[in-house]
């Protein structure tokens, strides 16, 4: 199934407001078998901006679509220049208190799994195991011709060697790992090819307008089916890739809880939306449930 590149969503009139009471989330966690679905808001406290929150990157930046990337060498040059620069900062980001709390819930046996829409690897860095990366990972690069994978650090090294002296100052970083650069700053940036077949390289992430791999979707559906409840953290649920799991849980009569400051496209299906900052809210929940955080994760 092909995702439509939905970038915006307007909350309808009459949508139930959020609450500052996290007790419904605490109740779900006490019951165990909670499936976490996290979005870009999960990583804002690590210095990675989200797409649609206050000051989100969509207010100044339109993500490149899969169709644009594959059709245009110029677009790929622009993408890789921006992504290469952004990776230096993105790759140094550390898990925040919210990531550590989710990992603690997992160690405490409260979770059925973690699905993340993020491509930053911060859940794993915090200690969560078996994380399903719905939209892939910036840690890997894939060849669109032969399917070979290459670690991002190796591609970054080759790009640095091919573009000696490339040190522009970016205006901002985006949640998909690239940096805001002008066409003048991109200049004649040189893109490297697959070392095996000289094919086109692309980060192993799902671009807007691209399909999430069907087997990955099916695995997520199975996780939803086996969970007792679904907990959405830091996602507007604007795109169908995440919203479909909320709808699946709701159809099955499973409680859906959302922790997100702003209204989401899934609010109508939720038992409650807790409008609190993720890090403090999840840390307080871990303390309330007697689940210790590992404050030394990935440091």
Q: Which residues are catalytic?
A: 135
Is there a binding annotation on residue 177? no
Number of residues that make up the chain? 299
Is there a binding annotation on residue 79? no
Is there a binding annotation on residue 202? no
How far is Cα of residue 42 from the mean position of the Cα atoms in its chain? 8
Is there a binding annotation on residue 218? no
What are the residues whose beta carbons fall under 8 Å from the beta carbon of 142, sequence distance 6 or more?
148, 149, 150, 201, 202, 203, 204
Is there a binding annotation on residue 43? yes
Q: How far apart are CA 86 and CA 177, in angstroms?
A: 5
Read off the tokens for 217: 């979707």
Is there a binding annotation on residue 254? no
Is there a binding annotation on residue 146? yes
* DSSP labels, 221-264: HHHHHH-SEEEEES----SHHHHHHHHHHHHTT--EEEE-SS--
Is there a binding annotation on residue 165? no
CA-based diameter of the chain, in Å?
Answer: 57
Is there a binding annotation on residue 229? no
Is there a binding annotation on residue 233? no
CA distances from 34 to 99, 108, 180, 232, 239 (A): 15, 12, 37, 10, 22
Taking the alpha carbons at both ends of the chain, their separation in whole angstroms is 39
Sign of CA dihedral 193, 51, 278, 221: negative
Is there a binding annotation on residue 147? no
Is there a binding annotation on residue 220? no
CB 214 within 8 A of CB 134: no
Is there a binding annotation on residue 154? no
Is there a binding annotation on residue 258? no
Is there a binding annotation on residue 45? yes
Number of H-type helices and E-type strands within the chain: 10, 9
- Pick out the residues of the known binding site for Zn(2+): 143, 146, 194, 197
- Pick out the residues of the known binding site: 39-59, 117-120, 143, 146, 194, 197, 234-236, 278
- Pick out the residues of the known binding site for NAD(+): 39-59, 117-120, 234-236, 278
């Amino acid at each position: 199934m092909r995702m439509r590149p939905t970038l915006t969503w307007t909350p309808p009139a009459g949508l139930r407001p959020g609450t500052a009471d996290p007790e419904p989330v605490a109740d779900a966690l006490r019951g165990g078998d909670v499936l976490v679905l996290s979005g870009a808001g999960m990583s804002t406290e690590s210095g990675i901006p989200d797409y649609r929150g206050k000051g989100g990157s969509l207010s100044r930046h339109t993500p490149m679509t899969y169709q644009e990337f594959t059709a245009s060498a110029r677009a790929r040059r622009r993408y890789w220049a921006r992504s290469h620069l952004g990776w230096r900062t993105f790759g140094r980001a550390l898990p925040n208190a919210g990531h550590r709390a989710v990992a603690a819930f997992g160690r405490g046996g409260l979770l059925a799994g973690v699905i993340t829409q993020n491509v930053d690897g911060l859940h794993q860095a915090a200690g969560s195991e078996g994380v399903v990366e719905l939209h892939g990972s910036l840690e890997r690069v894939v060849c669109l011709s032969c399917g070979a994978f290459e670690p991002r650090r190796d591609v970054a090294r080759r790009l640095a060697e091919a573009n000696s002296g490339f040190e522009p100052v970016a205006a901002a970083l985006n949640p998909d790992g690239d940096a805001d650069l002008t066409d003048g700053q991109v200049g004649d940036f040189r893109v490297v090819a697959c070392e095996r077949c000289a094919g086109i390289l692309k980060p192993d992430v799902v671009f807007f307008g691209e399909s999430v791999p069907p087997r990955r979707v099916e695995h997520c559906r199975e996780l939803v089916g086996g969970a007792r409840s679904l907990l959405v953290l830091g996602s507007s649920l604007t795109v169908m890739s995440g919203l479909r799991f909320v709808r699946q849980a709701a159809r099955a009569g499973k409680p859906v809880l959302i922790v997100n400051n702003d209204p989401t496209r899934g609010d109508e299906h939720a038992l409650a939306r807790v409008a609190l900052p993720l890090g403090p809210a999840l840390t307080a929940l871990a303390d309330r449930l007697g689940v210790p955080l590992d404050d030394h994760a990935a440091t």
